[in-house]
Structure 1
Amino acid sequence: MANEEITKRGVLVADASAHMAALVAVMLRSLGRKDIREVCDASKAMFELNHRSFDLLIIDDALVGLDGVAFTRKLRANSDCRNRLIPIIMMSAAPDAKRIADARDAGITEFLRKPFAANHLLTRLDNITAHPRSFIESAEFVGPDRRRKTVSVGKKARRSVDGLAEAS
């Protein structure tokens, strides 16, 4: 839908295939999302992200202009972009373990292997909502915290402020 009402929960879908972008938009609408924009290349995606706020970016790994990993690195590094902190779900038809790790290290929040069903998308959306991750900025990484769970190490295993182990 070209003239959808802009809402606070907008989603940008970026896929080289207009048919796949439309299919993802249909899935999102079936899940209750109303404000969905579809683009087919990296330059249009970056234009949209620089001109209005979105709550989510769903991007294909094989996006025209920049692949999804390079696009994500560029977006996360752009401190002037209003959407640099948004959750990003990457889709890919044939990812291997290295590509998934590269996506995670670029700042991807969630990953979907194509083909997928609406319930797979819903699982990723629910995970983003239920378990938001802190945004990390360092010399080597900009993006959501790559750790998926918090582990309690207990009092005995913690270090004291001065760097010495606490005695119990």
Structure 2
Amino acid sequence: MIGTDFGTRSVLVIEDEAFTRMVLAKMLTNLGFKAVHQAGDGAAGLAAVRAHAPDAVVCDVEMTPVDGLGFLRALRDSGDPRDRDLPVIFLTNRADPAAVTQARALGVGTFIVKPATPDSLRASLEEKLSGRTA
């Protein structure tokens, strides 16, 4: 299968653990993304979406003060049509059924169980970005 060319794309990583955020950013850079932006929680993630208009978001679920669900809810409620369709991939340590249900209702694209791997990131991002214009 020919993969999506990430060389014209940008991605935002929202993760509160600095080391994990750095590792994810490195993996995404190695996958060939044009730009990899970073934020430490959902509030900073919303600001980064406004500042950088990424093509996709990879977001931790459990963060403080604004968690992944809070970020996704604010994103989808923003009134910006682009925010309703922005692909969001959640990273999680556990698949809490209530959180999964809430996230699906808000339009989360995919869940990746931590630790993420280059292959899991590539597959999820290819699925969400294929057919979307850069």
Instruction: Please indicate, yes or no, whether the TM-score normalized by the shorter chain is above 0.5.
Output: yes
Q: Give secondary structure in 1 for the equivalent of 2:112.
A: strand
Once residues 51 and 28 of structure 1 are traced to their aligned partners in structure 2, the CA distance between those partners, rounded to angstroms, is 19
Provide the secondary structure at the position in 1 that maps to 2:115: coil
1:10 Cα offset (Å): 1.4
Moved more, 104-113 or 73-82: 73-82
Deviation at 1:97, TM superposition (A): 2.8
Q: 1:118-154: CA deviations, max 9, x gaps? A: 101111012113477xxxxxxxxxxxxxxxxxxxxxx
Q: In the TM superposition, what is the alpha-carbon distance from 1:60 to its structure 2 partner?
A: 0.4
- How much does 1:84 deviate? 4.2
Distance change (3 Å), C-alpha of 1:102 and 1:130: same
Instruction: Please report the RMSD computed on the Cα atoms of aligned residues, expressed in angstroms.
Output: 2.0
Percent identity, please: 27
2:40 aligned with 1:61: no
TM-score (norm 1): 0.67
Contact 2:41 2:65 in 1 (8 A): yes
Q: After superposition, what is the alpha-carbon deviation per residue over 1:38-95, rounded to whole angstroms, capped at 9, x for unaligned? A: 1112221111112231101111001222211121011101014754421001101112
Gaps of 5+ in 2: 1-6
* Residue aligned with 2:89, SS: strand
Instruction: Provide the C-alpha distance between the structure 1 equivalents of 2:14 and 2:29, rounded to a whole number of angstroms.
Output: 16
State how many pairs are aligned. 126
Matched, 1:38 2:58: no
- Amino acid paired to 2:125: L
Structure 2 length normalisation: TM-score? 0.83
Matched, 1:93 2:76: no
Paired residue for 1:122? 122
Structure 1: tracts of 5 or more residues without a match: 1-6, 133-168
